[in-house]
Amino acid sequence: MSISDRVIAIIAEQAVLEPSDVTPESTLEDLGIDSLGLVESIFAIEEEFDISIPFNANEPSASDFDISNVAAIITGIQKLVSEKV
Amino acid sequence: MKRVVITGAGTINSLGHSVPDTLEAMREGRCGISALEFRDVERLAIQIGGQVRGFEAEGRFNRQQMTLYDRFTQFTLTAAKEAIDQSGIEFHGDIAARSGVVLGTAGGGVSTWDDNYRSVYEDGKNRVHPFVVPKLMNNAAASHVSMEHNLKGPSFTVSTACASSNHAMALAFQMVRSGAAPAMLTGGSESMLCFGGVKAWEGLRVMSKDACRPFSANRNGMVQGEGAGVFVFEEYEHARARGADILCEIVGFAMSSDASDIVMPSKQGAARAMSGALADARLSADSVGYINAHGTGTAANDKTECAAVAGVFGPHADELMISSTKSMHGHLIGGTGAVELLACIMALRDGVIAPTIGYEEPDPECALDVVPNEAREAKVDVALSNAFAFGGLNAVIALKRI
């Protein structure tokens, strides 16, 4: 599975949706993922890829990690995974 | 109903090892938050906290006591001794039989759990010290205070996360007010600044890596602290009869439950607790001069708390002062309300309002007089102390100058 598919699978599970219902344009709000759900998703993604995502729930827009939609999250994770090697 | 007054106060926290030292630090707006020092701290993403420094338990307690006293109990006993010494109250005979200890803590002996889990899981040991359980239990501190000072009345521990101390003090207040007890030792304690304690908090992603800046637009989370605050709550006539120095009067309290979310705060729940405390004390909203805020420095708490204050106090919200001393001593979780009560006593008794330090940028969602960065002199007749816990459990205490 590609990074993109793995991220979408995690987000879909959190949102209790089918992966096919999660599109790159979807925002977390569209998917019904609240702040607590976001923190859980980030934890699951960190575990899946063995990376650390710089995210502070107090200032979600201040960190380098863009969570504005699914595509942005996937791009951010691809970058973190590539930096890991 | 009896009147209830505070005749003794004790504390240990990152600002000082006594009440005078702590109040001096609050007056000067000093920050007790700095780099954490303990085993494995380098594996944490969050490496700051309001840690108690220079506290040598070994000199204060004997070897046998050390095997039974977790750090949260050590803090509690230290603060309780200061409070009782100041009060001058003696517990014997009927007074001892009817007076008790109600304390708050969220985690109890967290470092005892941490050390012993490490020992069996990481170090592979198959045996732990026989006193692990009596050392880590949440009521250990209350029990040791009762033993040390001969308090034989109603004694127990309350655990409601960040509101534990306020719930405990509200219950102690009720017992003295109802006549059930002539005096109560009350307050709370917390010692979660160890690897496991901070690691657990890290997971929520609500902690700041650099500073606690309540109400400031650039705030980025809470910072943990540790320590204890303990008070002698005493029936007014009893205190007067023995010529006690009265620090202030406790005039009301209220508790409420948001019944809504396990971590997100609720404006309605906070507002109901504040207005309930005023109603219990039979005070009008405009009599309040100072509120010691819950003020955690998270995005969610501070704006919700300010909205609740605006709702309860109306136009008077712009007249009163509200500050968060967590900016200086950090968030003592289950012990926080007890240490913060000291700021209310200082406001009422000394006419000095503790500041919210680290304040850098106004936030339109927190547009109240938060006493930024510098303490202020002001005459205050009534003060409130807010605590709003995870789990949506709120407790507010109302105090009056005497």
Contact A56 B206 (CB under 8 A): yes
Q: Are residues B30 and B127 in the same domain?
A: yes
Residues of A in contact with B205 (CB under 8 A): 39, 42, 55-57
**Is B52 domain-assigned?**
yes
Last residue within a domain, chosen from B219, B241, B263 = B241
- What CA–CA distances, in Å, run from B195 to B1, B46, B77? 46, 10, 24
Per-residue pLDDT of chain B (402 residues; tens, 9 = 90+): 999 999 999 999 999 999 999 999 999 999 999 999 999 999 999 999 999 999 988 889 999 999 999 999 999 999 999 999 999 999 999 999 999 999 999 999 999 999 999 999 999 999 999 999 999 999 999 999 999 999 999 999 999 999 999 999 999 999 999 999 999 999 999 999 999 999 999 999 999 999 999 999 999 999 999 999 999 999 999 999 999 999 999 999 999 999 999 999 999 999 999 999 999 999 999 999 999 999 999 999 999 999 999 999 999 999 999 999 999 999 999 999 999 999 999 999 999 999 999 999 999 999 999 999 999 999 999 999 999 999 999 999 999 999
CATH assignment of the domain containing B258: 3.40.47.10
Name the residue in chain B with its Cα closest to that of A43: B203
pLDDT band at A26 (very low <50, low <70, confident <90, very high): very high
Contact B221 A62 (CB under 8 A): no
Number of domains comprising chain A? 1
Last residue within a domain, chosen from B206, B241, B276 = B241
Contact A58 B220 (CB under 8 A): yes
User: Which positions of B are annotated as active-site residues?
Assistant: 162, 294, 331
Q: What are phi and psi of B291, to 5 degrees?
A: -120, 125
Last residue within a domain, chosen from B180, B215, B241 = B241
Name the residue in chain A with its Cα closest to that of B217: A59
**Is B317 domain-assigned?**
yes
Task: Count CB-CB contacts under 10 A for residue A19.
Answer: 14
pLDDT at A61 (0 to 100): 75
Structural domain including A27 reads: 3-84
Structural domain including B67 reads: 4-241
Q: How far is A5 from chain B (nearest CA, A)?
A: 25
CATH assignment of the domain containing A52: 1.10.1200.10
Residue type at B120 in one-letter notation: V
User: CA–CA separation, A9 vs A19, rounded Å?
Assistant: 6
pLDDT at A59 (0 to 100): 84
**Is B248 domain-assigned?**
no
3-state SS, one letter per residue, for chain A: CCHHHHHHHHHHHHHCCCHHHCCCCCCCCCCCCCHHHHHHHHHHHHHHHCCCCCCCCCCCCCCCCCCCCHHHHHHHHHHHHHHHC
Number of domains comprising chain B? 2
**Is B171 domain-assigned?**
yes
Contact A62 B206 (CB under 8 A): no
Residues of B in contact with A57 (CB under 8 A): 204-206, 221, 298-299
User: CA–CA separation, B79 vs B103, rounded Å?
Assistant: 12
What sign does the dihedral A66-A69-A72-A74 (CA atoms) show? Answer: positive
**Is B60 domain-assigned?**
yes
**Is B246 domain-assigned?**
no
Mean pLDDT of A69-80: 95
Q: Are residues B24 and B74 in the same domain?
A: yes
- What CA–CA distances, in Å, run from B238 to B10, B153, B233? 20, 17, 11
CB–CB of B323/B356 below 8 Å?
A: yes
Residue of A43, A55, A58 lying closest to B299 (CB–CB): A58
pLDDT at B16 (0 to 100): 98
Whether residue B219 lies within 8 A of chain A, CB to CB, comes out as: yes
Please calculate the CA angle B402-B343-B244 and round it to the nearest 5 degrees. 35
Query: Structure tokens of B232?
Result: 């002698």
Residue of B45, B204, B208 lying closest to A39 (CB–CB): B204
User: CA–CA separation, B345 vs A10, rounded Å?
Assistant: 51
Q: Are residues B190 and B260 in the same domain?
A: no
Q: Are residues B180 and B267 in the same domain?
A: no
Contact B206 A57 (CB under 8 A): yes
Task: Count CB-CB contacts under 10 A for residue B287.
Answer: 15
> What per-residue string of b and e applies to B315-333 under the rule 16 or more CB within 10 Å gives b?
ebbeebbbbbbbbbbbbbb
Burial tier of B192 (Cβ tally within 10 Å: 0-12, 13-18, 19+): buried
pLDDT at B85 (0 to 100): 98
pLDDT at B57 (0 to 100): 86
Whether residue A42 lies within 8 A of chain B, CB to CB, comes out as: yes
Please calculate the CA angle B112-B390-B12 and round it to the nearest 5 degrees. 50
Residues for chain B: how many in total? Answer: 402
Residues of A in contact with B208 (CB under 8 A): 56, 58
- What CA–CA distances, in Å, run from B78 to B73, B136, B319, B320? 8, 17, 38, 34
Beta bridge partners of B344: none
Which of A56, A63, A65 is the best residue to mutate to test the B interface, defined by the most B CB atoms within 10 Å of its own CB? A56
Taking only the tens place, the pLDDT of each residue in A34-73 is 989 999 999 999 999 999 998 998 987 777 789 999 999 9
- pTM metric for this prediction: 0.95
Provide the number of CB pairs (under 8 Å) joining chain A to chain B: 35
Q: What does the DSSP assignment read for B81-128?
A: HHHHHHH-----HHHHHH-EEEEE-SSSSHHHHHHHHIIIIIS-----
